[in-house]
Structure 1
Amino acid sequence: MSQNTAAPTPAVAIDARSIRPGATGVGRAAQRLIGAMLSARPEWRFILVCRPGAGLAEWAGAPNAEVHETPVDYESHPRGDFWLNWRLPWLLRRWGATAYFAPAFIGPVRRPGVPCALSVYDLSVFRFPRAYSWRFRLFLRLAIRLGVRMADRVVVPCESVRQSAAERFPWAAGRLAVVPLAAASESQPPSPAAAEAFRRRMGLPERYLLGVGALEPRKNPLLVAEALERLPAAARPALAWAGPAGYRSRELANAMLRRLGGAGFVWLGPLGDADLAAARAGAAAAVCPSLDEGFGMTVLEAMACGVPVVCSDIPAHRETAGGAALFAGPLDAEAWTGRLAAALGDEALRRDLAERGWRRAAEFSWEASADRMLEVLRELIEAR
């Protein structure tokens, strides 16, 4: 007589240490993806490893989540590497995990004892090495190579990154999976009064462009300054930049100020979600001039706020934005000047971009992203 044995409940351990107040794109994406995963699978167990003070109280109360704090930062080396490769496998056994998900580039380089999925958002450190400090460049290149070699599944956010990863790591091509990202739910446009209150509080002029991301060479903010210099002074808006300091940020900020002047460039620093949505809603246009990206999350979030977008003509932006943005080469200041002039001066075009952008952003959702990520994890668990 045969007996039906129920499959054990999936128990997914997730490294959530990249989530913290003021987190940039990787941390923000991880927070939204994990939250959607918890909502989508109430019958699964999720074991979340985070830093103290990460602000994840809502997860601690979820019936399908266990939150474990560790003082070891994922950016701490070599202490963090020791924790990841020697302490973590023991913890996974203790917690009864059936899979492990590293959502922020850094994963163990030794087998952790359970199937492992690793997110690699982009390969910028290989494509634009001078955009990083030499120490970080060497570390991240090695971490990605070893992590990709070890992981049972390597998760990337778009098809263009999958193709690049397959070319660079051909031995891992069969283990690559695409899980698109989405705009934050907070990216819905706030009221005009909220946008105006934010503008006044931050001392912004009535007409400004908004860039979002760490102030660093890879985000390419100086290109926008060069393009703005070519516009007539009367038609030239200010450039506001929202994001934390990054590599060579002080050098970049000084160069921006020299080109645009104190009234023409405002570095807002990192903003919370509500302030970021207000900053976008009040902007004349959003600019996304990056040299390289793995996904256009800032593009989608601006579109969700109904803001015209001018972005660099790179594969990830093309794939994310579709035909709902204006594109210019990431090294072509003259082309950027033309696109900015059109986005600022052509009211019919502005309305069209806003409408198409809003529809495009609505095609992506964190619920769909979570479903795809959970499918990847389920496949790993069942194949074990």
Structure 2
Amino acid sequence: MGVDDLATDGERPGARRRVRVAVDTGPLHGRRTGIGNAVAWTLDALAHRADLELFPYVLSTRAKITVPERRLPMPAALAHRFWMHRSPSLDRLLGRPDIVHGTNYVVPPTRCPQLVSVYDCWFLEHPDDVSDDVARSARLLRRAVGRGAHVVTCSAATSAQARTLLNTDRVHTVLLGPPPVSAAAERGDSNLDESNRDWPTELSALAGGSPFILSLGTVERRKNVSQTVRAFARVADEHSTVNLVIAGAPGNDQAAVDKAIHQLPDAVQSRVVRLGSVENALKSRLLASASVLAYPSLDEGFGFPLLEAQQVGLPVVASTAGSIPEVAGSAALYSAPTDVDALAGNLHLAITSETVRAKLINQGHRNLERFSWASTADQLTQLYIDIVNGAAS
């Protein structure tokens, strides 16, 4: 049944029926990640649309769900193992939707059309670099695509990768919107002051306005943080007051980053601040206080920190990998992700040249105009309708 069919009982005769979308809200539970933010902000944009009826679901036995979320009463790990061998329809548990949207690489088996979000393809290109759970998700993704599921990505670069790696043309690009601007950033409250007790003690050395390079993101191989450390070594030789702040949850590149830091001279090691995972308020203030954001990822599906930096007028130095040039646009200095000398040169330029800084800041503000959650919601809603009606290629 297509969405142009006449209304069902209880609806205004002749009215277009709303598309019933079962959508995975699992990423909203537990520690919030970039995917969790993408899902939360997308759902906020879709929440008040008159042409959609959302049926949020969670695959968990322990998550604290709230109305109107539905629980699929099985632990995710167990369900994923089961779905590898059997594909029972879950339409009834999902509310008998028109389409099911798996927002985190996996979509449950149903009889209705399926859409699955893919944020980056690193795990498909580097299967030996991921955990068993992620490897299982990759197999489930391929299984879903094999039975006809559509894929939605957040950049054209990722869509191109997905078409090749998943061997399907049913791939669609819907750009995400910008992160909400924090209150701290809006106030311009960016001073690192010793009297501010909210700052971690590790940042006390930066009180008084010492410049610092900010590395933001999980310390995993894809983020290439060790390359930032090596580039910082070159910058530190020329700038005795510049520091490096690494903010991000521990990941599978922790050992490499440790090694890179330990190879620095003692005096330079003391200028590296490691914060681990940071809350949103501290992250916002770091962005508003930093001299430059270093983002030399080996691959990236979207990259919210790029837009967060541009929102607060922070120059960006990044790699040319994945979607980064597509998202950051002309408002960044680029280098190949493996070229440490070029990365160091760009960091030096972004720190020392007021002309370059002003240009990057101005272009960053203009670049932000390309992104909006209203556009994301419009495109995603049209994609739902096209898939339900069989019109999506």
Note closer, same or farther for the CA distance 1:248–1:317 as it changes in structure 2 (3 Å cut). Answer: closer
- Give secondary structure in 2 for the equivalent of 1:118: strand
Note closer, same or farther for the CA distance 1:343–1:129 as it changes in structure 2 (3 Å cut). Answer: farther
Q: Cα offset for 1:223?
A: 0.2
- Which residue is 1:120 aligned to? 118
- Which residue is 1:226 aligned to? 230
Moved more, 334-343 or 153-162: 153-162
- Give secondary structure in 2 for the equivalent of 1:155: strand
Larger relative helix fraction: 1
- Give secondary structure in 2 for the equivalent of 1:214: coil
- Which residue is 2:251 aligned to? 246
Note closer, same or farther for the CA distance 1:292–1:55 as it changes in structure 2 (3 Å cut). Answer: farther
Q: Given residue 177 of structure 1, which amino acid in structure 2 is its aligned partner? A: H
Note closer, same or farther for the CA distance 1:21–1:374 as it changes in structure 2 (3 Å cut). Answer: same
- Which residue is 2:262 aligned to? 258
Whether the 8 Å contact between 2:83 and 2:140 is mirrored in structure 1 is: no
Q: Given residue 191 of structure 1, which amino acid in structure 2 is its aligned partner? A: R
- Which residue is 2:3 aligned to? none
Structure 1 segment 286-301 matched on structure 2, within 5 A:
286-301=293-308
1:361 to 356, 368, 371: 368
2:41 to 7, 32, 43: 32
1:67 to 44, 66, 69: 69
1:12 to 6, 21, 35: 21
- Give secondary structure in 2 for the equivalent of 1:117: strand
- Which residue is 2:318 aligned to? 311
Q: Cα offset for 1:123?
A: 1.2
- Which residue is 1:104 aligned to? 104
Q: Percent identity?
A: 25
Distance in 1, Cα, partners of 2:171 & 2:328: 23
Q: Cα offset for 1:373?
A: 0.8
Q: Given residue 49 of structure 1, which amino acid in structure 2 is its aligned partner? A: Y
Structure 1 segment 82-231 matched on structure 2, within 5 A:
82=82, 85-86=87-88, 88-92=90-94, 95-108=95-108, 110=109, 112-133=110-131, 135-136=132-133, 138-170=135-167, 172-173=168-169, 175-186=170-181, 189-193=185-189, 195-196=191-192, 201-202=199-200, 203-204=202-203, 205=206, 206-231=210-235
Whether the 8 Å contact between 2:231 and 2:343 is mirrored in structure 1 is: yes
Q: TM-score scaled by structure 2? A: 0.83
Distance in 2, Cα, partners of 1:301 & 1:199: 24
- Which residue is 1:349 aligned to? 356
Distance in 1, Cα, partners of 2:383 & 2:360: 35
- Which residue is 2:54 aligned to? 46
Q: Cα offset for 1:199?
A: 9.2
Whether the 8 Å contact between 1:186 and 1:274 is mirrored in structure 2 is: no
Q: Cα offset for 1:229?
A: 1.0
Q: Given residue 221 of structure 1, which amino acid in structure 2 is its aligned partner? A: V
Q: Deviations over 1:112-165 (max 9, x none)?
A: 0221111111211233445434x3564243233223223442101111222222
Q: In the comparison of the two structures, how many residue pairs are matched? A: 365
Q: Given residue 241 of structure 1, which amino acid in structure 2 is its aligned partner? A: I
Structure 2 residue 289 is the aligned partner of structure 1 residue 282: yes
Whether the 8 Å contact between 1:117 and 1:153 is mirrored in structure 2 is: yes
Whether the 8 Å contact between 1:72 and 1:80 is mirrored in structure 2 is: no
Distance in 1, Cα, partners of 2:387 & 2:113: 6
Q: TM-score scaled by structure 1? A: 0.85
Q: Deviations over 1:326-353 (max 9, x none)?
A: 0011111111110110011111111111
Whether the 8 Å contact between 2:231 and 2:341 is mirrored in structure 1 is: yes
Distance in 2, Cα, partners of 1:107 & 1:124: 19
Q: Deviations over 1:36-74 (max 9, x none)?
A: 1113x14532111246897987xx5xxxxx22345655x
Q: Given residue 93 of structure 2, which amino acid in structure 1 is its aligned partner? A: L
Whether the 8 Å contact between 1:219 and 1:290 is mirrored in structure 2 is: yes
Q: Cα offset for 1:256?
A: 4.3
Whether the 8 Å contact between 1:228 and 1:337 is mirrored in structure 2 is: yes
Q: Given residue 281 of structure 1, which amino acid in structure 2 is its aligned partner? A: A
Distance in 2, Cα, partners of 1:353 & 1:187: 21
- Give secondary structure in 2 for the equivalent of 1:314: coil
- Which residue is 2:335 aligned to? 328
Q: Cα offset for 1:358?
A: 1.8
Moved more, 371-380 or 271-280: 271-280
Q: State the structure with bigger RCO (CA 8 A, min sep 6), 1 or 2.
A: 1
What are the ranges of 5 or more consecutive residues in structure 2 without an aligned counterpart?
1-5, 8-12
Distance in 2, Cα, partners of 1:346 & 1:105: 42
- Give secondary structure in 2 for the equivalent of 1:383: coil
- Which residue is 1:63 aligned to? none
Q: Given residue 78 of structure 2, which amino acid in structure 1 is its aligned partner? A: P
Q: Cα offset for 1:196?
A: 3.0
What are the ranges of 5 or more consecutive residues in structure 1 without an aligned counterpart?
61-65
Question: Larger Cα Rg: Structure 1 or Structure 2?
Answer: 2
